[in-house]
Amino acid sequence: MSGEPLLVVRDLATWYELRRFGFLHQGWVRATDGVSLQVQEGEAVAVVGESGCGKSTLAKTLLGLVRPRRGDLWFEGRQIRTEDDWRWYRRRVGYVQQDPYAALPPFMTVRRVLEEPLVVNGVRSARERRARVVEALEAVQLVPPEEFLTRFPHMLSGGQQQRLVVARATLLNPRLLVADEPVSMLDASVRVEVLQLLRSFQQARRLSVVYITHDLSTVRHFCERVLVMYAGKVVEQAPVADLLREPRHPYTQALLAAIPDVDPNNARRVRAVPPGEPPSLVRPPGGCRFHPRCPVAISGVCERNPPPDFEVAPGHVAACWLYQAARRAVAGVTPQGGSLP
Amino acid sequence: MESLLRVEDLRLHFRTAAGLVRAVDGVHLEVARARTVAVLGESGCGKTSLARALLRLLPRNVAHYSGRVVLDGLDLLELPEEVFRQQVRWVRLSLVPQAAMNALNPVLRVGEQVAEPLWLHGRVRRPQEARGEVEAALRRVGLPADFADRYPFELSGGMRQRVAIAMALVLRPQLVVLDEPTSALDVLTQANLMNLLKTLRWELGISFLLITHDVATASELADDVALMYAGQIVEFGRAHRFLRQPLHPYGQALRASVVSFREERTPQPLPGQPPSLVNPPPGCRFADRCPARFEPCHRTPPLVPVEGHGRVMCWLYAQEASRVG
């Protein structure tokens, strides 16, 4: 099995329809618009981007919560097409939500929260269910489990709630975990703890993780590969260390430059930040979607032709015309807007 | 250095079903003119209650409110409410509340909301007369003047946050309390907003009290840092020293938990949880989580002055001080 990716996604597009009065077609929100990615078994891949870049829609599509409009998805070598495929696929994917408090029913005890998926998935024996619930609590270090079984979510701290959500997501032994901003609602001091927990699951169980986040600084210690999204497209992907050492796409460069370190000199300097805001996904700019904000846009090229993926280093791909001269386009991905003049 | 704001032994306790919540419990701090103090602490440490106590924006269940808050020579707790409203709140001391971009009134145009403080404080007779000042206020925070005619839903989160800042600055206060001004915003928007706050500080000579849970955010603006834990300021001192080498064990643990992509070091989680503010433990409130805990920690630690820095509330330094002395 080694070498064959667990999940393959090609040219995935999930659009939402805009309607007036509930039925008149107004247009499409192109939340993800041609995303391709692969996740190996036991690999953690981060998807990074600002709000509105389509990363949560990508997560929802990968979870089977919304259906893509276009594109192909393979899981363990099986193509997911029919509703039966989706049902089969969804049993193998776990979901760690962003806001643990909203993701846990307030009227259910910890025990019921964890027992419910077992009941739904046909674990009949009450003794087995209890054993698995206790085991799941121990795995996320909510110990001693007896002390937590009868508690309600509001009686847990934010970090404990999120660990319960992780326990629920991993209870049925999924192969893939989709974590949508799992720590953004938590205190800085607790974030590391939850991320380390996810990391330990990934490594101990050879679980694959898609980690959706807006926070590039958490990526370094908890993922192998990063995808950077902008306005519904993946603009750059690379192994974590490569991307952080040498970001190629001007958007990634801006994103990295904007993240403050703990440095007392920060207070004395103004950061270089590209002006403006991410574009509308209803009518995204033509050509490269970053060109209106890009400090190094090539006039006559970037606003006309959407850039293809260029492989700038082994495993490091950037969708930017700057790298056209140096490298060949990645096979199989061609720009839709025709070739360069 | 001359201080603009001096807070001494400020206490704000709330009555709740669970008991008395000691949200602010003996806070001392100073803010100098044209300087920024970052109040740094985890959620539930009383940071926002401290902001409320300074602005006297108190809910009904206050059980105890005492101490001394001196702003530019005025003793704020002594003033009658009406005098405080007319002369202090928004005039000398204003607030950008947490999630301020969601605090705007959705049915009023932006310009009308920015004009409201001018009108309420009698600078103009009708809100409509404030147009010029409103446009200037919007331009000051980097928004086009014609945004005055827009409704809040027509603006992005970062732009609405700028409007909230414009409202807080419109009466030219000396001190602005910023409660988590960037926490709900995107990375680039955060950086843009921090750039704005830095420039405003240089141009207007204004002081900020920045409330945040994020050490990196604090480093963007702070001259001094007040580290808050369980209702108390446990370390207060120069930012350049605190950010490199905090003295209090809580500061050290918080610093070590910071995740950074530029640093090789693996971040260390901070074990345990802050104590309940209902019945805080006697003695040092951090003792249960403290790796350096020793015998005297069951007694309340003194505020130990530290040369060239500020002060720290920890027995480790009291011991050293007495040994040296």
The 10s digit of each residue's pLDDT in A248-290 is: 999 999 999 988 888 888 888 888 888 878 888 889 999 999 9
Q: How confident is the model at residue A135 (pLDDT cuts 50, 70, 90)?
A: very high
Q: What is the pLDDT of residues B212-270, one digit of tens each?
A: 999 999 999 999 999 999 999 999 999 999 999 999 999 999 999 888 888 778 888 88
CA distance A106 to chain B (A): 19
Query: Which carries the bigger pLDDT value, residue A335 or residue B278?
Result: B278
Find, in chain A, the residue whose alpha carbon is nearest to that of B35: A267
pLDDT at A54 over 60: yes
User: In the predicted model, is pLDDT for residue A148 greater than 50?
Assistant: yes
In the prediction, which pLDDT does B250 show? Answer: 96
Q: Which of A168, A169, A163 has the alpha carbon at shortest distance from A183?
A: A163
Query: Would you state the pLDDT for residue B320?
Result: 60
- Average pLDDT in chain B: 91
What average pLDDT does this structure show over B72-78? 93
**Is residue B322's pLDDT more than 70?**
no
Give residues with Cβ within 8 angstroms of A78, minimum separation 6.
Answer: A85, A88, A89
Average pLDDT (B24-48) is 93
Residue A300: name the closest of A288, A313, A315 by CA. A288
pLDDT at A220 over 90: no
pLDDT, residue A4, reads 84
B192 touches chain A (CB under 8 A): yes
- Residue B175 φ then ψ, to 5°: -135, 130
- d(CA B302, CA B311) in angstroms, rounded, equals 10
Percent of chain A at pLDDT > 70 equals 94
Which pLDDT band, with edges at 50, 70 and 90, does B1 fall under? low
pLDDT value of position A335: 40
Determine the pLDDT at residue A261: 85
Residue A74, pLDDT above cutoff 90:
yes
Mean predicted confidence (pLDDT) in B264-292? 88
Q: What is the pLDDT of residue B198?
A: 94
Residues 6+ apart with CB under 8 A from B195: A270, A271, A273
Residue at B60: amino acid letter? R
Dist. CA A263–CA B222, nearest whole Å: 10
pLDDT greater at residue B176 or residue B182: B176
**What mean pLDDT comes out for the span A130-148?**
94
Of A192, A193, A255, the CB nearest to B187: A255
Cβ–Cβ below 8 Å for B261 and A220: yes
Range 256-295 of B in CB contact (< 8 A) with A: 257-263, 266-270, 273
For an interface test with B, the pick among A189, A197, A273 (most B C-beta atoms closer than 10 Å) comes out as: A189
Q: How does pLDDT run across A301-329, given as a tens digit for each residue?
A: 999 999 999 999 999 999 999 998 765 55
User: Is the pTM of the predicted complex or chain greater than 0.90?
Assistant: no
Tens-digit pLDDT profile for residues A100-128: 999 999 999 999 999 999 999 999 999 99
Residue A133 above 50 pLDDT?
yes
- Residues 71-90 (B) with a CB less than 8 A from some CB of A: none
Mean pLDDT of B32-52: 93
From CA A165, how far away is CA A182, in angstroms rounded? 9
For residue B229, give the nearest of B257, B256, B254 by alpha carbon: B254
Contact A81, A125 (CB under 8 A): no
Of B100 and A289, the one with more pLDDT? A289
Distance from CA of B230 to the nearest CA of A (A): 15
Q: Does A217 touch chain B (CB under 8 A)?
A: yes
Our CA-based measurement puts residue B161 at a distance from the nearest CA of chain A, in whole angstroms, of: 14
**Residue of B158, B258, B269 lying closest to A262 (CB–CB):** B258
Question: Which two structure tokens, joined as six digits, stand for B301?
Answer: 């630690």
